[in-house]
A and B are shown apart, each in its own frame.
Chain A
Amino acid sequence: QKEVEQNSGPLSVPEGAIASLNCTYSDRGSQSFFWYRQYSGKSPELIMSIYSNGDKEDGRFTAQLNKASQYVSLLIRDSQPSDSATYLCAVRGTNAGKSTFGDGTTLTVKP
């Protein structure tokens, strides 16, 4: 079992729709969870971080964390073509220095 698993893609949604990206992790002691966006050929950029159970909203983005289920998700409302990218889930586990990333989910938003 991979330490961090993301829902397999690619994911395609129409413009204006809600895109839902999911991630599960195996280290029950994990404390910090991150969503990065990566455009093709570019470096990852942080879009959301979450540390407590529940929802965290930032503009059109909402991160959801459920530590009991070891599950973290990212919702993108009113999806735009500029949201088309690969989204990476990252988890910082009990070892503070180690960051584990999922394989990524490629999202395409069609005009």
Chain B
Amino acid sequence: EAQVTQNPRYLITVTGKKLTVTCSQNMNHEYMSWYRQDPGLGLRQIYYSMNVEVTDKGDVPEGYKVSRKEKRNFPLILESPSPNQTSLYFCASSLFPPGEGYEQYFGPGTRLTVT
């Protein structure tokens, strides 16, 4: 089954404790992206990757890191989480950057709480 998986689905952590949210897709997609969603704010793009070893900032990259060492995986790293990073996080992928003929598929989401 074609899918985007994220782990963990739920995470409660404390300020400053490094964490990684994993994202994996089995569709051989080149493009992957991370978003955060806060109440009333839609989705805001954190980072995206056009291909292996090619990543770039979205609109809200501060406090986050990413890496793309394999095509299928695109982990999101919070080196020193803070309470303002409490949010719902979505990973997404598409064959190429979203556009004509290229649909973006979303993972199930990771709900992160930083206390």
Please list the residues of chain A having a beta carbon within 8 angstroms of any beta carbon in chain B: 4, 6, 31-32, 34, 42-46, 49, 51, 88, 90, 92, 96-104
Answer whether A99 and B42 are a contact pair too, CB < 8 Å, given A43-B107, A46-B104: no
Give the bracket for the number of chain B residues in contact with chain A. 20 to 34
Query: What residues of B have a CB within 8 angstroms of the CB of A44 in the complex?
Result: 43, 90, 106
CB closest chain-B residue, reference A88: B42
User: Smallest CB-CB separation from A50: which chain B residue?
Assistant: B100
Interchain CB contact (< 8 A) of A96 among B97, B104, B107? B97
Which of B17-25, B44-52, B79-87 forms contacts with chain A?
B44-52
Interface contact tally, CB-CB below 8 A: 63
Give A76 to B75 CA distance when docked, in angstroms: 37
Residues of A within 8 A of B58 (CB): 98
Interface of A is mostly: strand
Residues of B participating in the A interface, judged by any CB pair closer than 8 Å: 31, 33, 35, 40-45, 48, 50, 56, 58-59, 90, 97-100, 103-104, 106-109
Question: Which residues of the partner chain A approach B104 to less than 8 Å between Cβ atoms?
Answer: 34, 46, 99
Which B residues are CB-close (under 8 A) to A99?
33, 45, 48, 98, 104
When the two chains form their complex, are residues B100 and A104 in contact, meaning their CB atoms are under 8 A apart?
no
CA distance in complex: A16, B40 (Å)? 27
Q: In the assembled complex, which residues on chain B have CB atoms less than 8 Å from the CB atom of A103?
A: 40-42
Of the candidates B43, B45, B50, B99, which one forms a contact with A88 in the assembled complex, judged by CB atoms under 8 Å apart? B43
- Contact A100/B45 with A43-B107, A43-B109 known, Cβ cut-off 8 Å: yes
